[in-house]
Structure 1
Amino acid sequence: MSSIKCKQNGEHDFVFVGVAYLTKELDEFELAKTEARAVTGVLASHPNSTDVHISSLSLTFHGQELLADTSLELNSGRRYGLIGLNGTGKSMLLSAIGHREIPIPEHIDIYHLTREMAPSEKTALQCVMEVDEQRIMLEKEAERLAHEDSECEKLMELYERLEELDADKAEVRASRILHGLGFTAAMQQKKLKDFSGGWRMRVALARALFIKPFMLLLDEPTNHLDLDACVWLEEELSSFKRILVLISHSQDFLNGVCTNIIHLHQRKLKYYTVRTFEELEENQMKRFNWEQDQITHMKVHETPCGRTFSLHRINSSENLEFGIDLDTRVALVGPNGAGKSTLLKLLMGELLPTDGMIRKHSHVKIGRYHQHLTEQLELDLSPLEYMLKCFPDIKEKEEMRKIIGRYGLTGKQQVSPIRNLSDGQKCRVCFAWLASQNPHMLFLDEPTNHLDIETIDALGDAINEFDGGMMLVSHDFRLIQQVAQEIWVCENQTITKWKRDILAYKEHLKSKIEKQTHDI
C-alpha cells in the first residue's frame, strides 16, 4: 500500500491523497519512472459517482509532453481499449492512473496489473484467493457510504462485491478462473516458486479477475497467453461490469472485449465507440490499398533452391514427418507447453531431437524473432550505435539511419539510449537487426508483443512481401489471418494440419471452452 500526493492547478487547487493497492512495492525502476513523471488534472465528476471524469489532464515524462490539456472520461460499465503508436504514452498513462497520480476518488479501488506474482511457498490457488486486504477496504468504504447516502449506486456495487468475495464461494470461483487461464487441478496446488515468470503472470491476472476491482487496468494481458487462454480471457472480460481500461495491440481481441476506444494521438485522448472506430479503420484501409495499387514493387532476392528443411520423427511418441521450404507460410497454434517454440528451436539447431533427424540446406540463412530478443540489446547504446556495431560493413551513419528509419525509429529515438525507449520501440530495433541479416526464412515466435496496431499491420504487409519461407507462433488471430496459408495445430505430442481458416479455429476453441465450463 502506498500513498501518492497530487496537486492540482488552477482555481481548484487542492492536495489529493490516494491509496494505490499494488501486488508488491514499487521496484527501483518503477520508482524512477514515477519520479520522472509529472501529472496534473482536475476531478470533474461527483466525488461519490461511479464514473470518473478528469479535465485539464496533462502528463510529462523527463520533460517530454505526452498529454496536453485533454480529458479522461471513464464511465461505469464501459470497457475501453487504449490505443496509439508505440512511445506515445499509453503505458505511462495507465501507470499514472494506477498510482493515483490522477485525482480518482478513494472509493474507486484500482487494480493495475503490472508484473507477475513473486515466487513464494503459497499455491497458485491460495495466491488468487488472498483478498483479506480488499475485503477490509470494501467493508470500510461501504460503512462510510452507508452513513453518507444509503441509496448511493456505489454502495450497491460494494455489497455485490463483498458477496463475491464470500469465503463459501471463493475457492470455486478462483479455481474456475485459473482453469480458464490454463491451470490444471494439479497446477493450482503447485507452489508459486515452481512456476516460470509467464505462469506467475497468469496467476497475477487470475487474482485481478477474482478481485473484480471497480477499475481494472490491463497492459497487454495476452502477451503470456496461448490462443486457448486468449479466447477464454476475451469471453471473461467481455462481461466485465465496472471500468476496464485495456492496452492491447490485438485488434481482434479489442473488438471482442471493448465497448469503446480511446485513441492517444497528438497528445490528446479521442473517444470512439468500437463500431465507429472500425468504420474509420475500414475507410483508411481502402485508401491504403488504393495507394498500394498505384505502386509497382520489384524485388530481387537470392535464395537457395529446393527444399529448405525436412524433418523426421522428433521422438518416438510425436512420429512427425514433414518438410518446409521457401514457399511455406504456416502458423503454429496450440496451448502453451505443447512444443511450438521447441519445434522452432529444433529447426534452428538450438535443440537436438531425441530421435530421428533434421536435414537442413547447407546455405539457408534463418532469421528468428522470439519474445526475449529485446533482452539481448545493449541498453546503454543508442539504436544507431547498436546497429553500426552489429553490421560494421555499413560505414556511413546516414545509410544506417535510413535503415533504422524504415522501422519507425526516427530523429531523437535513433540516438537515445535503448533503455529509454518504450517496449514497442525496442522491438522495432530488433526487427531492424533481424531484417538486416537478409534471411531466406523467418521463424517468428510471438512477434506482436508490445507492437502497436499500425506496426502489426505493417509487419503483416512485410511478411506477405517477403520472398522466403515463414513459420509463425502468435496469439494474434488477425495477424495469422493476414499471413498464414496453413494452420498447424501442435497438441497432444503431435502436429496436425487444420483444414479450415484461423477464425474457424477460434470458434472451435470457444466451443471447447463452453463445453469445459458446462462440465465444471
Structure 2
Amino acid sequence: MEAEIQAQIPGLDHVISEYSVGYLTHASRAYVEDADPNAPSPLSEAADAVTELLISASGDFSAENEKAIQNLVEKFINSLSAADGVDAERRQMPFAAKKLDQAINVGSQRNMSSTLGLTGGGVDLESANSRKVESRVDRKKLEKAEKKIRAKQEKKVMKNVEYEASRLLNQPDSTQSYEEFYMAVNPLQMGADSQSKSKDIKVDGIDISIGGMRILTDTSLTLAYGHRYGLVGQNGIGKSTLLRALSRREVAIPTHISILHVEQEIRGDDTPALQAVLDADVWRKHLLLEQEKITKELAAIDEERASLADTSKDAAKLDHQREGLDITLSDIHAKLAEMESDKAESRAASILAGLGFSPERQQFATKTFSGGWRMRLALARALFCEPDLLLLDEPSNMLDVPSITFLSNYLQGYPSTVLVVSHDRAFLNEIATDIIHQHSERLDYYRGANFDSFYATKEERRKTAKREYEKQMAERAHLQAFIDKFRYNAAKSSEAQSRIKKLERMPVLQAPESEYTVHFKFPEVEKLSPPIVQMSGVSFGYSPDRPLLKNVDLDVQLDSRIGIVGPNGAGKTTVLKLLIGQLQPSSGTISQNPRLRIGFFAQHHVDALDLTTSAVGFMAKTYPGKTDEEYRRHLGAFGITGMTGLQRMELLSGGQKSRVAFACLSLTNPHILVMDEPSNHLDIEAMDALSDALRNFQGGVLMVSHDVTLLQNVCTSLWVCDKGTVEKFDGDVNAYKKKIASQANEAGVVAAH
C-alpha cells in the first residue's frame, strides 16, 4: 500500500503514507458485537479521513486525482478484508462504545506514550492498573523505550530544516544588513586555534523540507576541503534550497568554516564598485577600524604616561592597560596579515576587471549599474572574500563568455571549497573535481569526476541497477510460482517451505528510477525564396552622440545556424531587436521577405507571461483556435506534462516557465528563430532537447548565448559583437575562449608592469 501511495503521490512524506496504512489497518479490526446501527463504522471514518489527508498532501484537487486516491484506499480496504478473513457484512457493522470495567483517567499527562508523535493527550497507566490486576508490562522497560522514542523524535525535529523556523531568517531581509548577516553566519575566529581545525565538512542525517515538500531525507553531506563540487539535478529538485540551507547554517556546519553564497544582487547606493568589493570582507573592514581605534588609544596612553612617574599607581594602571591593547593589536595584525590585507585593493581590482569592469567603471557608484551588473558585483565580492565554502548558484546565467572564461580560470586556482549549481556542461567540465547528483531526496557522489565522466558513470549505474532489479524480480516470481503450486502438496511441502525462507531472506531491491527525458519539437517550415532577412550598413545608438553599433552587415537564411558572442553591453541584444523590428536603425537598411515570420525568445521571457493564469489558459488567450487538449498536447512536446499545464505559472520553476515560452514561440510557426540567452534556467536534459530540436529545425537560427555546449552543438558560424562592430569569427567557440584567455593574460602582464 505504501509503495502504491508513493507512486500515486510522488514526493509524499513517508510519515504520511505510514500513518495512512497504520490507521486503516487499525480501524479494520476495531469492531464489537453490540453495535449501534446508526453510527458510522470506524473503517468508513478512517477511509474518509485518509482519503482527505492524501488529497490534501498531494496538492492536486482535480477530480481525476481524487478518484484515483479513493480507488487506492478502497483497494487496500478490500485487501485487508481478504487477508483477515473477516465476513463482509461484519466489516460493514458500525462501531459501538463498550463500557470498561475500570475508568481510565485521560486527563493525566504522566507516562504518556509518544510513539505516534502525539503530544496533546495520554493515558494514566497507574489509574488503569488500579484494579490490582498484575500487569504483564515491564514498567521500567516501557519507560526506557518511551524515553528513547522521545529522544529520537526530538533529534529528528532538530535535524529538520524548516525555513519558517529559521533562527537567522526570523528577521526580514530589509531589517538585516549584509554586514549583520555576514557576522551572524561567520563569527570571527581569532588566534592559531581556528587555523588548526579541519575544514572538511561531514554532516550526517540531513533532512530538508520547504513549503511542505521534502527535499532531502536522512542524507549525508561530505565536502573535502579544497575540492570543487558541481551540484546537478533536475529543475525543481531543490538544489538552490540546499545552498540556502548551507549558507544560513541550517545544516550544522562548524562555525570556524566561513560560508558565502552568491544569491541576490547587491543594493545600489553611492559606494564606488571597487569600494563595495573591499567592504564585502566585513571582518577585514571591522579589523581595520579596530586597528585605527586601538592605535589612537595607545597614542593617548603614551602621551598621558609620559607625564607620570614610573612608581605611581596611575602609571602602573596605564602600563597594564597598554599591555592588553598591545596583545589585541598584535592579534589584529596577525589576522590582517593572514588575510593579506595589504594586497586587498589590487586583488579586488583584478577580480572586477576579469568580470568586465573597466578601471573607469570600477569607480562608478553601485546604483548606476543594472541588475545584471550588480549580480556581477555580488560575485566579485564573494570571490574577494575567499570564504572556506563558496556557494554559487548558476553563476554563468549572469555572465558573458569572456567573464565565464575568467571565472572558470579563477576557480581552478581557488584555494578553498566550492559548491556550484550549474547546468553548463563546459563550465562544469573545466572547474569540477567532483560531482554531486541530487535526486530522490538524496545526494549521490561521483568523486574525481567532471560532468562528462559523471554522466557516463550515472548511466552505467542506472543500467546495472535495472539489470539487478529485473533479475531479482524474475527470481522472486520463479520462487513464488513454485510456492503457490506446491505449498499444500505433502510430497513437496518441505521444498516449498525452503523456498519461502529463501524468499524472505532475499533483500528487497527498490525499483530503479525511470529515465528522465525531455523532447522539444518545433513545427515544420515552408520554403521561402531568398533574401530571407538582411542587415546592410546598419548603425544604431540609444542617443545620437553615443553610437553603439556601426556598419553592421548580417545575412540570415533558412539554413543559418548563427551564434553571436561578445562582452555584456557590447550590443548583442540590440542586434537581435533591430533584426526583428523592435528597434529602428539610425542608418543603413534591414530587408526581409514579406512572408517571413520570426519567432523571438527574449532573455527576460517571463515578463511576457501572465503568471496568474495557467499555461493552457495563457496559450488559449494569446494564441486562440485550439482545444485545451491540443494545447496540453503541444505543451507536452516541450516537457510540460500531466497537470503542470493547468497550474498557475507562478508556481512553476524557472526551467518550466522557459519551456512554456518555447511552446508559445513554436505556436507562431516561425521561419526564423531569434533567441536571446535561451539556455538560462534550463536543466541539462532540457538543454540537450533544445539542441536536438534546433538542429532538426528546418528554418534559420540566430542566437545570443554564453553556453559553450549549446553554441558548439547548434551553431555552424560564430559572430563576435564588440567595440561597435559585428564580425564573423574564424573559428569555433573554443578558439574564441582561447583568444579571450590569451588577451586577458597579456593585459595582466601589462598591468603588472
- TM-score (norm. length: structure 1): 0.83
Structure 1 SS opposite 2:558: coil
Tell me by how many angstroms 1:243 deviates: 1.6
- Mapped to 2, the partners of 1:503 and 1:243 lie a distance apart of 27
Match of 2:727 among 460, 471, 496: 496
Tell me by how many angstroms 1:18 deviates: 9.3
Match of 2:528 in 1: 304
Structure 1 SS opposite 2:387: coil
Structure 2 SS opposite 1:117: coil
Q: Give CA-to-partner distance per residue, 1:216-240, whole Å, 9 cap, x none.
A: 1110111121111110000011112
Q: Which amino acid aligns with 1:237?
A: L
Tell me by how many angstroms 1:170 deviates: 1.3
Match of 1:407 among 638, 652, 672: 638
Match of 2:580 in 1: 348
Match of 1:428 among 635, 653, 659: 659
Q: CA contact under 8 A between 1:165 and 1:211: conserved in structure 2?
A: no
- Mapped to 1, the partners of 2:722 and 2:523 lie a distance apart of 38
Match of 1:314 among 529, 534, 538: 538
Q: Which has the higher contact order (CA 8 A, sep 6+)?
A: 1
Larger deviation, residues 451-460 vs 404-413: 404-413
Q: CA contact under 8 A between 2:423 and 2:684: conserved in structure 1?
A: yes
Match of 1:482 in 2: 713
- Mapped to 1, the partners of 2:210 and 2:158 lie a distance apart of 21
Tell me by how many angstroms 1:489 deviates: 1.2
1:70 aligns with 2:219: yes
Match of 2:276 in 1: 127
Q: CA contact under 8 A between 1:307 and 1:326: conserved in structure 2?
A: no
Q: Give CA-to-partner distance per residue, 1:425-448, whole Å, 9 cap, x none.
A: 211111111122211101111111
Match of 1:457 in 2: 688
1:264 aligns with 2:428: no
Match of 1:467 among 698, 717, 739: 698
Match of 1:374 in 2: 606
Q: Which amino acid aligns with 1:263?
A: H
1:153-164 mapped onto 2 (5 Å cutoff):
162-163=336-337
Structure 1 SS opposite 2:398: coil
Q: Which runs of 5+ in 2 are unaligned?
A: 1-150, 160-164, 176-195, 289-331, 464-520, 541-548
- Mapped to 2, the partners of 1:161 and 1:461 lie a distance apart of 53
Q: Which amino acid aligns with 1:358?
A: I
- Mapped to 2, the partners of 1:19 and 1:49 lie a distance apart of 26
Tell me by how many angstroms 1:169 deviates: 1.4
1:196 aligns with 2:427: no
Q: Give CA-to-partner distance per residue, 1:150-191, whole Å, 9 cap, x none.
A: xxxxxxxx9997436444211111101000000111100001
Q: CA contact under 8 A between 2:433 and 2:450: conserved in structure 1?
A: no
The structure that is strand-richer by fraction is 1
- Mapped to 2, the partners of 1:229 and 1:328 lie a distance apart of 27
1:92 aligns with 2:241: yes
Match of 1:57 among 184, 206, 223: 206
Match of 2:173 in 1: 26
Q: Which amino acid aligns with 2:387?
A: P
- Mapped to 1, the partners of 2:710 and 2:381 lie a distance apart of 29
Match of 1:148 in 2: none
1:391 aligns with 2:538: no
Match of 1:104 among 247, 253, 257: 253
Match of 2:350 in 1: 176
Tell me by how many angstroms 1:60 deviates: 2.1
1:225 aligns with 2:393: no
Q: CA contact under 8 A between 2:284 and 2:341: conserved in structure 1?
A: no
- Mapped to 2, the partners of 1:264 and 1:434 lie a distance apart of 31
Structure 1 SS opposite 2:446: strand
Q: Give CA-to-partner distance per residue, 1:444-495, whole Å, 9 cap, x none.
A: 1111111111111111101001110011111111110000110111112112
Structure 2 SS opposite 1:454: helix
Q: CA contact under 8 A between 2:537 and 2:588: conserved in structure 1?
A: yes
Change over 3 Å in CA distance of 1:59–1:132 after alignment to 2: closer
The structure that is helix-richer by fraction is 2
1:429-448 mapped onto 2 (5 Å cutoff):
429-448=660-679
Q: Which runs of 5+ in 1 are unaligned?
A: 1-7, 29-46, 140-157, 289-296
Which structure has the greater CA radius of gyration?
2
- Mapped to 1, the partners of 2:354 and 2:269 lie a distance apart of 22
Tell me by how many angstroms 1:399 deviates: 2.1
Q: CA contact under 8 A between 2:562 and 2:702: conserved in structure 1?
A: yes
Q: Give CA-to-partner distance per residue, 1:248-274, whole Å, 9 cap, x none.
A: 111100111111111112222111135
Q: CA contact under 8 A between 2:280 and 2:382: conserved in structure 1?
A: no
Cα RMSD of the aligned pairs, angstroms, is 3.1
Q: CA contact under 8 A between 2:536 and 2:590: conserved in structure 1?
A: yes
Tell me by how many angstroms 1:338 deviates: 1.4
Q: CA contact under 8 A between 2:522 and 2:697: conserved in structure 1?
A: no
Q: Which amino acid aligns with 2:383?
A: L
Tell me by how many angstroms 1:54 deviates: 1.9
Change over 3 Å in CA distance of 1:308–1:427 after alignment to 2: same
- Mapped to 2, the partners of 1:132 and 1:231 lie a distance apart of 25
Q: CA contact under 8 A between 2:432 and 2:450: conserved in structure 1?
A: no
- Mapped to 2, the partners of 1:347 and 1:161 lie a distance apart of 56
Change over 3 Å in CA distance of 1:161–1:322 after alignment to 2: farther
- Mapped to 1, the partners of 2:366 and 2:703 lie a distance apart of 30
Change over 3 Å in CA distance of 1:132–1:456 after alignment to 2: closer
Tell me by how many angstroms 1:279 deviates: 3.2
- Mapped to 2, the partners of 1:164 and 1:385 lie a distance apart of 59
Q: CA contact under 8 A between 1:109 and 1:214: conserved in structure 2?
A: yes
Q: CA contact under 8 A between 1:115 and 1:201: conserved in structure 2?
A: yes
Equivalent pairs counted in the alignment come to: 467
Structure 2 SS opposite 1:352: coil
Match of 2:421 in 1: 247
Change over 3 Å in CA distance of 1:138–1:420 after alignment to 2: farther
- Mapped to 1, the partners of 2:421 and 2:550 lie a distance apart of 37
Change over 3 Å in CA distance of 1:69–1:486 after alignment to 2: same
- Mapped to 1, the partners of 2:563 and 2:212 lie a distance apart of 43
Larger deviation, residues 105-114 vs 225-234: 105-114
Q: Give CA-to-partner distance per residue, 1:85-114, whole Å, 9 cap, x none.
A: 111111111111112221112222211111
- Mapped to 2, the partners of 1:110 and 1:298 lie a distance apart of 44
Structure 1 SS opposite 2:407: helix
Match of 1:147 in 2: none
Change over 3 Å in CA distance of 1:277–1:211 after alignment to 2: closer
Match of 1:508 among 739, 747, 753: 739
Structure 2 SS opposite 1:130: helix
Structure 2 SS opposite 1:471: strand
Q: Give CA-to-partner distance per residue, 1:49-85, whole Å, 9 cap, x none.
A: 3122222222223222222222211221111111111
Structure 1 SS opposite 2:743: helix
Q: CA contact under 8 A between 2:432 and 2:449: conserved in structure 1?
A: no
- Mapped to 2, the partners of 1:117 and 1:228 lie a distance apart of 22
Q: CA contact under 8 A between 1:112 and 1:217: conserved in structure 2?
A: yes
Change over 3 Å in CA distance of 1:254–1:163 after alignment to 2: farther
